[in-house]
Chains A and B, each alone.
Chain A
Amino acid sequence: MRVARRKQSLGGQSMIRDMITAMDHWALQDPERLAYDDLGHTNTYGELKQRSDALAAHLDNMALPAHAPIMVYGGQTFDMMATFLGIVKSGHAYVPIDTHSPVERITTINDIAHPAAAIAVSALPTTLGDTPIIDGSTLNTIFDQHVDYQVTHGVSGDETYYIIFTSGTTGKPKGVQISHTNLLSYVNWMLSDDFKLPQAPRTLSQAPYSFDLSVMDWGPTLAAGGTLVALPKQVTDNFKALFETLPTMNLNVWVSTPSFVDICLMEPTFDASHYPNLSRFLFCGEELTHATASNLHQRFPKARIFNTYGPTETTVAVTQVEITEQILADYPRLPIGYTKDDTRITVVDDQLHPLPAGTEGELLISGPSMSKGYLNNPEKTAKAFIKMAGKTVYRSGDLGVQLDNGLIMYRGRTDFQIKLHGYRIELEEVNHYLSQEDHIQVGVAVPRYDRNHKVSQLIAWIVPATHEFTNELDLTKAIKENLQGGDMMAYMIPQRFVYKESLPMTPNGKVDIKSIIAEVNQ
């Protein structure tokens, strides 16, 4: 066996040296162990190895250009996991594309990535030019074969393991290349005492595999011999089905965006007495609000809740903090956490000079989980991955403050920073105050620009909480009065309030601020 397993000094889990051998290890040791549970339809680690071996052998025979990426189209199914593993066993990187992606995005990614092949685990809704396609029935025939496959040229070291395309609501999507080294750094951290995940957990797999939040569920779970429990979009979309399915999943570890757990918290039975084995909640992808975390803590008082932060470019997440009662008491806006051991985060000013603790600036991230850059895009790579003192660091575009105790506080995006009448305003800071106001369920502020591209107004789009006002004017008056009496600087209070039933969301479940900015500036 290639894997050398050694005990970490702090953790009960072992350090992983190779993702492929770590997953195959469970097939060799315990082939009947469950790797995947798709609404009661289960697959074992033995099947994961057999199918991925068969696919790797098939890909080897195709004699594709070495290391060339392969596109994979499908939903949250076991065959997707087997396909990913087969691809990396044959030395290629995979580009996951979810079934709910618009056709245009699929063809754009095909144009950018020039994949050596595409595997349609689900039927592709479009042709892909010259790219050879392995369709579903061919894939099933391959998966039926039992081959004796030796992994001799699997993805390793700096070779690219997966490529995830960022949403990119403006311009071309960027393909973030994550190497085997990047992934190992991330997965070993997840398996360390920083999270103390249960042994071989049953983990929620709700995020689409094209969203790197999903790596937070499958990475540590399959490396540690746990079971991925799929919750596909067709179930989460239908709340009746969602709440019929959730209690049957027998989950130990929850991974989702805060927005998704907010839906679940609408159901009063989503609590520890109905989910007695659910002991970890891991959040990433957007800001975890104090309201969501404290509500969840009340429902699951014994579960451990973790907030994490990280750009796709540094592999899923690079900071973590457990949201304890003490943290909830101490921080009205929750910290994003402490930097993982092997990574360095430096807070810098706009001239890239390091700033002392307590000062707000852009977060620069470097370490073994930092990507080599964007696929076939040297220009964007050079802009985001810069040299500093002879070392490459990633410019996150995220603003933060490091406190004296090492905790990092998120303060918004550099590109959502505006100036209004000379005042520097962070839209996300305004949003934070808006969302704390009693009459506001969710609120975001966006700038309206004048002809000279200067911000003329701050406009708030508000989803109001239940209220007794008979007209919007009275509601606006009440909100403004509360904001003026609170912690918010007067110049940060939006001039106009627009009331909405809901806010537009990105496919990944975040409020789509860019589309709101576009709409108010039409």
Chain B
Amino acid sequence: MDIKQTVLDILNDLTGSDVSGAMDDNLFDSGLMDSMGSVQLLLQLQSQLGVNVPVSEFERSEWDTPNKIIAKVESLA
């Protein structure tokens, strides 16, 4: 499965916007993501990609742009 595309699909669904043109934009600063969004992201990564991220290891600054999220997920997959 293409990790990049799956993550982008999850983010598109979560934020209601296509983030593929803004891969280095901070999703939290722009208000597209928040705490509840983060929870959903973790749940979806688990169900769609089998990637387990313990909530206690979710350092927001490592997950705040689409590129960072993709890199994180690739390193964990």
Contact = CB atoms under 8 A, between A and B. Distances in A.
A505 B14 CA distance: 13
B55 A238 contact: no
Interface in A410-434: none
Interface residues of A, number: 23
Interface string B42-77: 111011000000111111110000000000000000
A42 interface: no
A400 to B, nearest CB: 27
Contacts of B54: 267
B56 A466 contact: no
A237 B40 contact: no
B21 to A, nearest CB: 19
Given A237-B28, A238-B59, A263 B43 contact: no
B43 A500 contact: no
A259 interface: yes
Interface string A451-479: 00000000000010011000000000000
A269 B59 CA distance: 17
B55 A243 contact: yes
A267 B55 CA distance: 6
Contacts of A239: 35, 38, 55-56, 58-60
A263 B40 contact: no
Give the dominant DSSP class at B's interface.
Answer: helix
A436 interface: no
Contacts, number: 61
Given A237-B60, A243-B56, A501 B41 contact: yes
B57 A240 contact: yes
B34 interface: yes
Interface residues of B, number: 25
B40 A238 contact: no
B56 A236 contact: no
A244 B55 CA distance: 11
B61 A238 contact: yes
A505 B34 contact: yes
B4 to A, nearest CB: 17
B10 interface: yes
B56 A263 contact: no
Given A238-B60, A466-B43, A466-B47, A501 B13 contact: yes
B60 A501 contact: no
B39 interface: yes
B56 A502 contact: no
A211 to B, nearest CB: 15
Nearest to A238: B60
Contact of A269 (B37, B44, B56): B56
A266 interface: yes
Contacts of A500: 13
A504 B47 CA distance: 21
B1 interface: no
B10 A501 contact: yes
Contacts of A466: 43, 46-47
Interface in B3-41: 10, 13-14, 28, 34-41
A241 B55 CA distance: 10
A276 to B, nearest CB: 19
B59 A240 contact: yes
Please list the 6 inter-chain residue pairs (A to B) with the smallest Cβ-Cβ separation, ordered nearest first: A243-B56, A501-B14, A238-B60, A239-B58, A502-B40, A240-B59
Interface of B: 10, 13-14, 28, 34-44, 46-47, 54-61
8 contacts: A240-B57, A240-B60, A241-B60, A243-B55, A263-B36, A263-B55, A501-B41, A502-B40
Given A243-B56, A466-B43, 8 more contacts: A237-B35, A240-B57, A467-B47, A501-B41, A502-B14, A502-B40, A505-B34, A509-B36
